[in-house]
Amino acid sequence: MSLWRGREKEPAREQIATIAGEASAEAAVALEHADRTTVRPAPPVDLTAAAFFDVDNTMMMGASIFHFARGMAARKFFTSSDLARFALQQVVFRIGGRETHDGIRNARESGLSFVAGHSVAELMALGEEIYDELMADKIWPGTRSLAQMHLDAGQRVWLVTATPVDLATIIARRLGLTGALGTVLESENGVYTGRLVGEMLHGPAKAHAVRALAAREGLNLRRCTAYSDSANDVPMLSVVGTAVAVNPDGSLREAARKRGWEIRDFRTGRKAAKIGVPSVLGAGAVAGAVAAGLAYRKRGT
């Protein structure tokens, strides 16, 4: 896989998003074709249509990268100060709502820096364990049924997420889906550098990834469907023929109503009444990790 190394002069945001999207599509195709060890879904009979699903709060309750970080913390992959720093960045990102280009990139790169020096094979093996421990029971049954509906129609189904593509591919395989588009972590000789290729797969980068994959796979985007919970994914939802807001935040719910997009809400009771609560709860849990990490550091001083 070709890696972007032009770090001396930062390209325009749109160019970086394009790089991230194309790298994600390239990685997704490579991983799909390289995986011969598990039973894959039946070959698609509808070759020009596909479905694209966001992961966090759409396919899975909460943030997949946070569940992964919890599993890594339990395995002592980083120190208490590393955990506190990562958690604080996630709180700022989720609650502060300051989704500037530099802020998003810096938070994600710093948050994923703990993988630097570890092999891809090692992290993939741990990802399998962590999925079973912390993620399998977080899948929304309603969203999973929507994905199965597309599979039963002979269409391919892809996850599209800011989560690292290696981890996203594990989730997709466990759900019996076709594959995943995700943030590409740079690696050299099978070892992670701790840097990203382009930027995280977020906002416009997701739309670029979907377009790039459609070009590679011969998909007709007008016949494709996309699902997401966040207004950040409006670019991705806008490039397909059918867009569906799943467990939408307030901004996406409003956009969906204006554009005539279908809305599916699988939350119940108090959760459904308070749009965006799952993200806040996730941030609260990370805040608890910050407190715990800082308390641990104080005891050690």
Which residues carry out catalysis? 54, 56
**Which residue from 83, 137, 108, 260 is spatially nearest to 199, judged by alpha carbons?**
108
What are the start-end ranges of the E strands in 109-238? 156-164, 179-183, 185-188, 191-196, 225-228
Q: How far is CA 182 from CA 25, 167, 196, 273, in A?
A: 8, 8, 11, 30
DSSP 56: B
Return the DSSP state at 220: -
Separation between Cα atoms, residue 147 and residue 144, nearest integer Å: 5
Strand partners, 264: 246
| Residue 93, φ and ψ in degrees, nearest 5 | -65, -40
Q: Are 175 and 129 in contact (CB under 8 A)?
A: no
- How far apart, in Å, are the Cα atoms of 238 and each of 150, 211, 228, 231? 19, 11, 11, 11
**160: which strand partners?**
181
Are the CB atoms for 62 and 56 separated by under 8 Å?
yes
The rounded distance, in Å, linking the Cα atoms of 220 and 132 is 35
R_g (Cα) of the chain, nearest Å: 18
Residue 81: phi and psi, rounded to 5, are: -70, -35
Q: Is 120 left (phi over 0), alpha (psi -120 to 50) or beta?
A: alpha
